[in-house]
Structure formats: C-alpha cells, structure tokens
Structure 1
Amino acid sequence: MKAVIQRVKKAMVEVDGEITGKIGPGILVFLGVGDEDSIKEVDWMADKISGLRIFEDETGKMNLSLMDVEGSALVVSQFTLYGDCRKGKRPSFASAAKPEIANALYEDFIKNFRLKGINTETGRFQAMMDVSLVNDGPVTLIIESPEKKA
C-alpha cells in the first residue's frame, strides 16, 4: 500500500461538478492499493498516518498528530501511485490491485479512520476527480507499507 500525504489548510474533491468531499485543516491522503495488499496493510497504514506527528506544537516543532489536533482527512483513491515508469514512456499499472479488491481496501481504510474518530471525507472510487488544496507548509510525505516477508 502506498500513500502520499499532504498537510492542508483546506482541500476539496469534485466529480462532475459535485463536491464529494471537503475539509478544513488536516490531511489529504492519496491512497494506492497494491495487488498483494490485505487488511493487514490497511491497518498498518491507517495507524501510521493517523499517528504521524506532522502538525506543529506551541513551540513550532512538528510534534502533534492528526488526532492530537483533531484535524480532518480527505481520502482519495489513487491507483496511479502504482505506476511503474522504469521502462518505456508509458506507466505500467500491473502491480495495482484489481478494482474490486482496491475498492474494498480503500473503504476499509476510510472505516478505520472514522472508527478512530477522525472526520473523514472522500473522493469517488474510479471517478475522474478534480482535487484542490491549500498545502500547509508545504508538508508532503510518501509512505509505503512494509515489505512482505516470504
């Protein structure tokens, strides 16, 4: 599982002119699901992201998590995070999960965040989306779940 996290002052997703998700201060999560991912990776990723200390404390040091600051999350499915660009000029998405598996794990991630008490808005799975944001910092991180051991 892969994610790109951006600390935001606000963010919004629109599909065909309809707002599907909108948040104030918090994080925008672009979430990619790989073909070998399972609920184990969902749980790991949700715990990692919700606990990341990327918000400033009273001294200006990044020491607080999304949960500490009671921020919101906007979660957008992003299979293109699994685009392999090492060969040729056209990305290969062979390692991205099939849509039915990816959607189920994406929904599990959202449920996990909501069970933690995080106000969580979403995009729309497999839709063409317009995403707008005001990046705070800017703070942008790339996170990948640990490699599976054979």
Structure 2
Amino acid sequence: MKAVIQRVTNAKVILNNEVPVSIGPGICVLVGFHKEDTLKDLEYIVKKILSVKLYADDNDENWEKSVVDKQLEVLIISQYTIYNGWKGNTPDFHKTMGGEKSQELYSKLMEMAREIYNPEKVKDGVFGIYRQLYLENDGSMTFEIDSPQACHELPNENSKSTI
C-alpha cells in the first residue's frame, strides 16, 4: 500500500460542479492499493499517516508535530493509478488491487482513521468515481509512504491474501 501525503492549507473534491467534501489546513492523502495488500499494510499506513511529524511545534522547531497533534483535518482519496507500471508509454495496472476489494480496504481505512482520530476531522474523498481535486499546498510538502510489504513480488503458490 502506498500513500502520498501533501500538507495543504485547503483541499476539496468536486463532483458534477458540486463540492461534497473539503478541508481547511491539514493533509491531503492519496492512497493506492496493491493487489496483495493485507490488513497489516492498512494498519501500518493509517497509523503512519496520522503520526508523521510534518509541522513545527510552538517554538518553531520543524518536524515536531503531527496532523493529530495540531488537530488539523485529513482528506483521504483512493488513487487507483499509484501502483501503475508501464508497457512502453502506456500505463499498466496489473499490480493494482481490483475495484471491489480496494473499495472494501478503502472503507476499512476510513473507519480505522476515524477510530484513531477525530471522525469529524477525517474526510472521505469519495471512492471510485471521476472527480476533480483542488488543493493548495502548504509549502512544497509532499511525502510518499510505503507499507513494509509495498514492494510485493509475484506471490508464490502458498501465499494467501487475508482480505
């Protein structure tokens, strides 16, 4: 599983010229699911998203506070293309988890993030439909996090997914 985190002053999702979800200061997180991801990958990513130190403390010491420490908002968006590969110049998505399973994992991710943090501060970027995302970066702060199992190889015959 991968997450791309951007520190933002605001972000919003637009669907059919309407804004179903928006946040003020906080982080916008794009998450991608590998076809072999498990609940352990999910747990790791959720905890990491909420605990990474992206903010200064009250003494202006950088990298001391998390989004939770600062009580800021979190917008999480499923991003199918994060696990793309390439066939020449054409994107290839054979490593990406399919729609139904990734929707299940995304729902669990949202549930877990809301349980760990304030549910009103964790916003759902709307799964699986065409949308526009507008965000204003807070500095040039973009970070990628991979779950420990993110570098999946082809599974052997004995491996089984737990999801």
Report the residue type matching 1:125 in the other structure: F
- 1:52-63 correspondence to structure 2 within 5 Å: 52-60=52-60, 61-63=62-64
Residues 18-56 of structure 1, C-alpha deviations (whole Å, 9 max, x = no match) = 212100111000010110012111111000110000111
User: Helix, strand or coil: the match of 1:27?
Assistant: strand
**3-state secondary structure, aligned to 1:4:** strand
| Match runs of 1:21-100 below 5 Å | 21-60=21-60, 61-85=62-86, 87-100=87-100
Q: Find runs of 4+ consecutive structure 1 residues off by over 6 angstroms.
A: none
Equivalents in 1 of 2:48, 2:141: separation in Å? 16
Distance 1:39 1:9 in 2: 31
- Is 1:15–1:124's contact at 8 Å kept on the other side of the alignment? no
Higher Rg: 2
Q: Aligned partner of 1:112: which letter?
A: M
Residue identity opposite 1:79 in structure 2: Y
CA deviation after TM superposition for structure 1 residue 117, in Å: 2.4
Moved more, 37-46 or 118-127: 118-127
Letter in 2 for 1:94: H
In 2, the alpha carbon distance for the partners of 1:82 and 1:109 equals: 17
Q: CA deviation at 1:58?
A: 2.3
Instruction: Work out the CA distance in 2 between the residues paired with 1:20 and 1:74.
Output: 12
Residues of 1 paired with 2:31 and 2:98: CA distance? 14
Whether the aligned pair in 2 keeps the contact of 1:123 and 1:129 (CA below 8 Å) is: no
Partner in structure 2 of residue 125 of structure 1? 127
RMSD: 1.5
Q: Which residue of 1 aligns with 2:156?
A: none
Can you give the 5+ residue segments of structure 1 that lack an aligned partner in the other structure?
Answer: none
Q: Which residues of 2 match residues 105-120 of structure 1 at below 5 A? A: 105-118=105-118, 119-120=121-122
For the residue of structure 1 that corresponds to 2:92, the secondary structure is coil
Q: TM-score, normalised by structure 1?
A: 0.93
Q: How many residues align?
A: 149
Query: 1:84-106, CA deviations, whole angstroms, 9 ceiling, x for partnerless residues?
Result: 13x40001100100101100111
Aligned residue in 2 for 1:138: 140
Aligned to 1:3: 3
